[in-house]
Amino acid sequence: MSLHIYDTSTRAIREFVPVEAGRASIYLCGATVQAPPHIGHIRSGVNFDVLRRWLARSGYDVMFCRNVTDIDDKIIRVSAEEGVPWFAVAERNQRAFTWAYDTLGCLPPTVEPRATGHVPEMITLMERLIERGHAYASGGDVYFDVRSYADRYGSLSNQKLENMRAAGDTDDESCKRDPRDFALWKGEKPGEPTWPTPWGPGRPGWHLECSAMATKYLGPTFDIHGGGIDLIFPHHENEIAQSQAAGDGFAHYWMHNGMLKIGAEKMSKSLGNSLLIPEMVQKVRPVELRYYLAAPHYRSSIEYSEEALLEAAAAYQRIEGFVTRAAEVIHDVDADAPLPQAFADALNDDLGTPQALAVVHEVVREGNVALSRGDKEAVARLLAETQNMLDVLGLDPRSPQWRGAGSDLSPVVDALVAVALEQRKAARARKDYEAADAIRDQLAAAGITVEDTPHGPRWELSR
């Protein structure tokens, strides 16, 4: 079975057939950096990271572009409220997003363009639209003429133009031919940053930014455009309109992840219920938080509760426990071992992570039985299957991301713990259990948990 994904634009499951054989191109609407990220923001990053990993595992050369919107009305408002430059607000929060993506194990994008670095491409796109009769300049602004595209505008969100409200993106609607026309470019206002254009200084509109960046890096026609379901209208609807009206094929598939809610309300900072990533990784480890976000189907909504979060953490720990115990018996894991067919089928069916994780847990159960029987051959096979599946999901507990490899202090910690465990072993051998317990307590105080196993002591950072 090949990959099939739900395409929002056709409202149907479609087989994935790339524009170019052997290559997959993805554009993901990334952060608008007016504030640090909560888990609702990062869910999108985790979901599309799993997609990217699965495409790569399926043999595709993946080009993954995730943008940063570093100028818009919200950033300017925060800048004014805080009395700091707009670019300082954007830089601070972009770093917070990057830290959050990295902390939750998302692979770095192939390219991560900032909107403010692509004004020339935006000007070119507006010129093409004006030449084709789909845009017009007015009072220093530039607008997309929705009636010039009336036969197709609204197709993504399944709306009719006559039922749409005004765009509401300008203070003076008299500048527009139609209140539903949306701003491609906003003319200069006091205290706001500006860039020069043939129509006067100003700054880009949100929708224009993504079309210009997507086509610059992925070409006029590319495979997948992704983002949260809340972006379908107006953002993605407007992207399609301006891009295709300019003559680009744009995205072949549209994928949208569901929202994360608290008390049946969409998460937002204005509701005062945002759960920021630094706070969340104090409740559970980053890998457990990733499991929590990856486990539901990407199109489903998640009703957040701390109970559900802790249940997800416990489920991951059961997987981790098998991998840890099996690795003490099997030292060389076959990284090329085939994935269970049921796992591959689950991900090929619109990225079905719940079904894929059910396969992982079933293999883990088989692995624990094999461990109890001392069947090393079966343990080796099942450990390889488990780790290879977890690698696709970005959840392998033995990967450098989650073991802390690469940290400058990790070799030092390894060496110090090894010395302490040798001292404890010697104390136990001479039956000085008080000294052995004291060493264990000192390690615990330093944040290191020691567990005695049939294969010798095992240590890990305390949870």
Is residue 275 within 8 Å of 39, Cβ to Cβ?
yes
pLDDT tens-digit readout, 123-133: 999 999 999 99
What pLDDT, on the 0 to 100 scale, is given for residue 207?
95
Give the Cα separation of 168 and 55 in Å (integer).
39
Q: What domain range is 113 assigned to? A: 4-257
pLDDT tens-digit readout, 267-293: 555 544 568 999 999 999 999 999 999
Q: What is the CATH number of the domain that holds 373?
A: 1.20.120.640
Are 430 and 397 within one domain? no
Report which secondary-structure segment, H or E, holds 23.
strand 23-28
Neighbouring-strand partners of residue 202: 187, 195
Report which of residues 172 and 373 the model is more confident about. Answer: 373
pLDDT tens-digit readout, 382-431: 999 999 999 999 999 999 889 864 444 556 666 777 777 778 778 788 88
Question: 142: which 2 tokens?
Answer: 């530039």
pLDDT above 90 as % of the chain: 79
Backbone phi and psi for residue 275, each to the nearest 5 degrees, phi listed first: -115, 100
Mean pLDDT computed over 361-368: 98
Q: What is the CATH number of the domain that holds 171?
A: 3.40.50.620
Is residue 360 within 8 Å of 319, Cβ to Cβ?
yes
**Does 108 score more than 70 pLDDT?**
yes
- Asked whether residue 266 is assigned to any structural domain, the reply reads no
Instruction: Count other C-beta atoms under 10 Å from residue 234's C-beta.
Output: 21
- Asked whether residue 360 is assigned to any structural domain, the reply reads yes
Instruction: Count other C-beta atoms under 10 Å from residue 177's C-beta.
Output: 13
pLDDT range class, residue 456, cuts 50, 70, 90: low
Cis peptide leading into 234, omega within 30 of 0?
yes
Task: Give CA angle at 142 (138, 146), nearest 5°.
Answer: 100
pLDDT tens-digit readout, 25-58: 999 999 999 999 999 999 999 999 999 999 999 9
pLDDT tens-digit readout, 157-209: 999 999 999 998 888 888 999 999 999 999 999 999 999 999 999 999 999 99
Q: Using the 3D structure, point to which of 257, 285, 310 is the last residue of a domain.
A: 257
Mean pLDDT computed over 429-449: 79
- Asked whether residue 280 is assigned to any structural domain, the reply reads no
What pLDDT, on the 0 to 100 scale, is given for residue 406?
42
Are 386 and 428 within one domain? no
- Asked whether residue 294 is assigned to any structural domain, the reply reads no
Number of domains in the chain: 3
Is residue 296 within 8 Å of 354, Cβ to Cβ?
yes
Are 414 and 399 within one domain? no
Question: 212: which 2 tokens?
Answer: 């210009």
- Asked whether residue 269 is assigned to any structural domain, the reply reads no
Give the Cα separation of 441 and 444 in Å (integer).
5
**Does 354 score more than 50 pLDDT?**
yes
Question: Is the entire prediction scored with pTM above 0.85?
Answer: yes
Are 245 and 334 within one domain? no
Are 71 and 195 within one domain? yes
Mean pLDDT computed over 149-161: 95
Q: Using the 3D structure, point to which of 403, 433, 453 is the last residue of a domain.
A: 403
Are 440 and 373 within one domain? no
Report which of residues 326 and 335 the model is more confident about. Answer: 326
Instruction: Return the sign of the alpha-carbon dihedral for residues 133, 138, 141, 144.
Output: negative
**Does 138 score more than 90 pLDDT?**
yes
Range in 86-95, 314-323, 407-416 the model is least confident about = 407-416
Supply the mean pLDDT for the chain.
Answer: 92
11 Rama class: left (phi>0) / alpha (psi -120 to 50) / beta: left
Backbone phi and psi for residue 152, each to the nearest 5 degrees, phi listed first: -125, -15
Give the Cα separation of 170 and 185 in Å (integer).
11
Is residue 252 within 8 Å of 19, Cβ to Cβ?
yes
- Asked whether residue 311 is assigned to any structural domain, the reply reads yes
Are 370 and 389 within one domain? yes
Pairing mode, if any, of strands 23-28 and 221-228?
Answer: parallel
Give the Cα separation of 378 and 411 in Å (integer).
32
**Does 458 score more than 70 pLDDT?**
no
pLDDT above 70 as % of the chain: 92
Are 69 and 164 within one domain? yes
**Does 233 score more than 50 pLDDT?**
yes
Range in 328-332, 358-362, 428-432, 436-440 the model is least confident about = 436-440
Are 372 and 456 within one domain? no
- Asked whether residue 96 is assigned to any structural domain, the reply reads yes
Are 151 and 77 within one domain? yes
What pLDDT, on the 0 to 100 scale, is given for residue 12?
98
Give the Cα separation of 118 and 95 in Å (integer).
20
Are 225 and 321 within one domain? no
Give CA separation, 78 vs 12, 34, 86, 168, in Å. Answer: 40, 7, 8, 20
- Asked whether residue 273 is assigned to any structural domain, the reply reads no
Q: Using the 3D structure, point to which of 257, 289, 318 is the last residue of a domain.
A: 257
Are 397 and 414 within one domain? no
